[in-house]
């Protein structure tokens, strides 16, 4: 056995791959502070950049590949900059030197706004997954020689929408506790309606799951649903998210329930200050880890007027003792060792701070969820009922962690809209469903 890299025990190394011609080992490491591409036996990165290669998630999903080798031996790699993907092609044939002959390609060369999972073909063809704010995730083919617009070979959805309905996100940076945080702002947009008020729109802040993951800008029906109905959306890449370098990703170490909550709150306040959101109509939602951030923001801060938790964590101690094997020690790095630091877990559990809750909360939960068991939502609902806070719990049969059935996904969105309609006193919402809210 030979130790190639990572001898400090605290360096993240992902996506090892052998060069098909030379047999040399390539991999992605964050030793420089960013996920860069390395070649075994050559100490510095062969492509040193202050951007992350490798894709959106930190390597805990199978099949991710942020770089590949072309038939002529060149390296093709993808990184993201300002919410857009960039393809980098370089010559790596010189054994004792970094990559040379570096070329970059992006949307101006016919590539989609976001892409990854590169797979080379013959005659300069490249295949990859990609999308844009108006295009659902698709399999694309693009030719490196002709640089004609990428062709969609297969799409994850048959739906198509007019550009008059699609809100294109703008990346925003805003001040927060540890410096700067990031997100994507979607303005309300619906060509079929005209705004009749000078007031800023209501804002829905979204906290992604993971929590060590990130959001993206490919078509998201769950976001366009809101912007087409008059809501602005802020999709937050809070501290701990991937894609912004190692230091940013490590902000969440031992600080889950602090950094993420600060960032979603500061993002909302920033948009209010910029005149892009109504401070009296701020709401937040999130699923899984994002549900925990949502409940924490509602329990520990006084920024949002309402919120929705989708299969979210209410009790960290219960999660530490009752979750699936793959994530069984995940919280040790995010919060602290359990049970040694049980006090810390209780301090950061929204269920333990019901006394500080004061705004309406909608809870949406799958009955068969083994990652965040249903008892989490049930405990939170019971606590809210006892305190007299407006609340609603909807349990979906046959659903696990993340809803899969179309009718349930639709009902969850419609229920959330109806919930905010009641909370904000919006009297006329086309197609709104009936929703019973307890304590209201």
Rg (CA), the chain: 23
Band (pLDDT 50/70/90 cuts) for residue 363 is very high
What is the pLDDT at residue 283?
98
Q: For 114-167, where are the E strands, in sequence order?
A: 114-120, 125-132, 135-143, 151-155
- CA torsion angle 292 296 297 300 (round to 10): 180
Report whether pLDDT(42) > 70. Answer: yes
- Mean pLDDT of all residues in 240-256: 95
- Mean pLDDT of all residues in 415-421: 97
Report whether pLDDT(354) > 90. Answer: no
CB atoms within 10 A of CB 367: 12
What is the pLDDT at residue 278?
97
Distance, in Å, from the CA atom of 284 to the CA atom of 295, rounded to the nearest integer, reads 9
Helix (H, G, I), strand (E, B) or coil at 52: coil
Band (pLDDT 50/70/90 cuts) for residue 30 is very high
pLDDT digits (tens, 9 = 90+) for 251-264: 999 999 999 999 99
Report whether pLDDT(77) > 80. Answer: yes
Q: For 168-245, where are the E strands, in sequence order?
A: 170-176, 179-186, 203-207, 232-237
Distance, in Å, from the CA atom of 24 to the CA atom of 14, rounded to the nearest integer, reads 16
b/e burial code for range 165-190 (CB count within 10 A of at least 16 → b): ebbebeebebebeeeebbbbbbebbb
Report whether pLDDT(385) > 80. Answer: yes
Report whether pLDDT(61) > 80. Answer: no
Cis amide bond preceding 211, omega within 30:
yes
Report whether pLDDT(127) > 80. Answer: yes
Q: Which has more confidence, 412 or 193?
A: 412
The predicted model scores a pTM of 0.94
What is the pLDDT at residue 373?
84
Average pLDDT, the chain: 92
Report whether pLDDT(326) > 80. Answer: no
DSSP string, 211-225: SS-----S--HHHHH
- Mean pLDDT of all residues in 335-364: 93
What is the pLDDT at residue 324?
67
Of the chain, the percentage scoring pLDDT greater than 90 comes to 76
- Mean pLDDT of all residues in 322-351: 88
Report whether pLDDT(165) > 70. Answer: yes
- Mean pLDDT of all residues in 85-99: 93
Of the chain, the percentage scoring pLDDT greater than 70 comes to 99
């Amino acid at each position: 056995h030979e130790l190639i890299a990572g001898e400090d025990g605290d360096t993240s190394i992902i996506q090892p791959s052998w060069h098909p011609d030379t047999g040399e080992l390539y991999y992605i490491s964050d030793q420089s502070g960013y996920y860069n591409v390395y070649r075994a036996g050559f100490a510095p990165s062969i492509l040193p950049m202050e951007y992350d290669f490798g894709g959106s998630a930190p390597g805990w999903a199978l099949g991710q590949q942020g770089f590949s080798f072309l038939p002529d031996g060149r390296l093709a790699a993808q990184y993201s900059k300002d919410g857009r993907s960039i393809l980098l092609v370089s010559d790596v044939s010189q054994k004792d030197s970094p990559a040379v002959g570096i070329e970059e390609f992006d949307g101006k060369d016919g590539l989609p706004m976001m892409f990854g999972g590169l797979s080379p073909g013959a005659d300069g063809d490249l295949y990859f997954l990609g999308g844009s704010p108006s295009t659902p995730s698709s399999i694309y083919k693009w030719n490196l020689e002709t640089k004609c617009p990428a062709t969609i070979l297969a799409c994850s959805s048959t739906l198509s929408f007019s550009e008059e309905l699609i809100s294109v996100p703008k990346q925003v940076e805003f001040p927060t506790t540890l410096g700067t945080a990031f997100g994507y702002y979607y303005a309300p947009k619906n060509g079929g309606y005209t705004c009749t008020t000078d007031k800023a729109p209501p804002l829905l802040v979204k906290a992604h799951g993971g929590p060590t993951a990130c959001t993206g800008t490919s078509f998201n029906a769950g976001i366009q649903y809101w912007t087409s109905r008059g809501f602005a959306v802020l999709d937050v890449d809070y501290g701990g998210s991937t894609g912004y370098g190692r230091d940013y990703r490590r902000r969440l170490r031992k600080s889950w329930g602090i950094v993420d909550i600060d960032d979603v709150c500061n993002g909302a306040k920033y948009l209010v200050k910029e005149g892009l959101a109504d401070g009296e109509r701020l709401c937040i939602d999130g699923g899984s880890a994002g549900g925990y951030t949502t409940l924490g923001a509602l329990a520990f801060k006084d920024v949002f007027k309402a919120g929705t938790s989708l299969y979210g964590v209410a009790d960290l101690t219960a999660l530490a003792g009752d979750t699936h094997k793959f994530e069984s020690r995940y919280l040790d790095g995010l919060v602290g060792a359990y049970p040694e630091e049980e006090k810390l877990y209780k301090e950061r559990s929204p269920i333990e701070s019901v006394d500080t809750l004061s705004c309406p909360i909608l809870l949406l939960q799958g009955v068969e969820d083994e990652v965040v068991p249903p008892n989490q939502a049930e405990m939170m609902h019971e606590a809210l009922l006892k305190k007299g806070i407006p609340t609603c719990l909807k349990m979906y049969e046959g659903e696990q962690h993340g809803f899969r059935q179309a009718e349930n996904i639709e009902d969850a969105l419609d229920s959330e809209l109806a919930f905010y309609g009641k909370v904000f006193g919006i009297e006329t919402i086309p197609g709104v469903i009936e929703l019973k809210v307890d304590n209201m």
